[in-house]
Amino acid sequence: MAIITSPNTTAAAVLHSLSPILLEPPTPDFNYHMGAAHDALPAGDGNIRRFVKRENLLPTTVPLGLTEPNPQVQRDVFIDAEMKMYGTSIIFNTQVIIHNQQPMLAMGMESLGVCMRQSEDLILRQFLLSTTGFYNCQNGSNGDIPTEITYVDASVVSTILRTANAQRIFAGIPGELRIGTNPVRESYLMFANTLLQSSLDTIPEWKDALNYSEARQAGYAEMGSLANLRLYGSSQAAMINGSSANGRDVFVNLTTGRNAFFQISQDGWGMKIQYLPPEFSGPIGLNCSLGLSFFQAQAVAQSNWLIKVNCTSKY
């Protein structure tokens, strides 16, 4: 006959056994860097990265006569991006390091790495929100301003970008003889909030990423496509609480063409993690620390290739 011992009578040392499985914290998808063109500022070259955008010359469509045409002036636009330093740190008590079963420093390094990637994404998001071009969805049926996004709204946004000569980011995916699949057009990139999924599923023309004719070409965080837009979802995509005409949350879906904005890193200083041992914390060496630092700058190269598509949810 088995004897069941109550946990209350078990020795304290036996009550807890640490599982080797590390539970993951809820982490959003980091998407904004995907639409960026990437550049690096060389070490020792100052703290400002300068880009030159050359304006096109006027086409010459008139046949030459007896007189020379007036010369044109080549105009250049300079765009400057200032490098900024970001960072944070974790402090560990030496007693925790000695007594805890968990590899605290290794876990701290992993946490700092995730923190850096999320910080990079949020810095880009806040920077892109400062762009001026926007479109309020107006063809939905929820009676709000803006309305929920529809196929017509996505088509209008695609037309605006195409008319501004914005280059598509994604090549088209041709159709194949597979039941339930669809071809996908050449597309621009839209950063959407995951809360829009229920509204998107009600749009007849919506193509879920799983129903692409070649589903393996869908990105990890890709939700699907609508007209000439491919939507990548994240829970930290831009949203303004209660700002619609009827008090709904407004989702700010940044939509971009190729090379519309740049993310600039510092050459020789990608991500630096520094460990400071306990001897440096004080006379009794009570604490040690892990610190993270990185440099980042960003610049908009073509402002008319970026559109903030504002919409609400249907439900």
User: Which pLDDT belongs to residue 268?
Assistant: 84
Q: What pTM was estimated for this model as a whole?
A: 0.85
**In contact, 295 and 123? CB cutoff 8 Å:** no
Indicate the number of domains in the chain.
1
State the pLDDT at residue 150.
97
229 part of a folded domain: yes
Q: Which residue has the tokens 């041992």?
A: 277
Identify whether 176 is part of a domain.
Answer: yes
pLDDT in tens, 140-183: 999 999 999 999 999 999 999 999 999 999 998 888 777 778 88
How much is the pLDDT for 17?
Answer: 67
CA angle 180, 204, 253 (to 5 degrees): 110
CA distance 98 to 154: 57
- pLDDT above 70 for 5: no
What's the mean pLDDT in 22-34? 85
Specify if 209 maps to a domain.
Answer: yes
Q: Which residues lie below 8 Å from residue 272, measured CB to CB, with a gap of 6+?
A: 292, 293, 294
Each residue's pLDDT tens digit, 105-125:
788 888 898 999 999 999 999
End-to-end CA distance of the chain: 59
Kindly state whether residue 213 falls inside one of the protein's structural domains: yes
Give the range of the structural domain holding residue 237, as residue numbers without chain letter: 134-262+304-311
Could you tell me if residue 139 is inside a domain?
yes
Share of the chain above pLDDT 90, in %: 58
Structure tokens at 102: 């968990």
Is 95 among the domain residues? no
Confidence category of residue 24, pLDDT binned at 50, 70, 90:
confident
C-alpha separations of 140 from 133, 199, 202, 221 in Å = 21, 10, 11, 25
How many Å apart are CA 129 and CA 142, to the nearest integer?
A: 25
Mean pLDDT lowest among 98-102, 188-192, 278-282: 98-102
Q: How confident is the model at residue 279 (pLDDT cuts 50, 70, 90)?
A: confident
Query: In this predicted model, what pLDDT tens digit does every residue of 63-84 receive, in sequence order?
Result: 988 888 899 998 999 999 999 9
Asked whether the predicted pLDDT for residue 4 surpasses 50, the reply is no
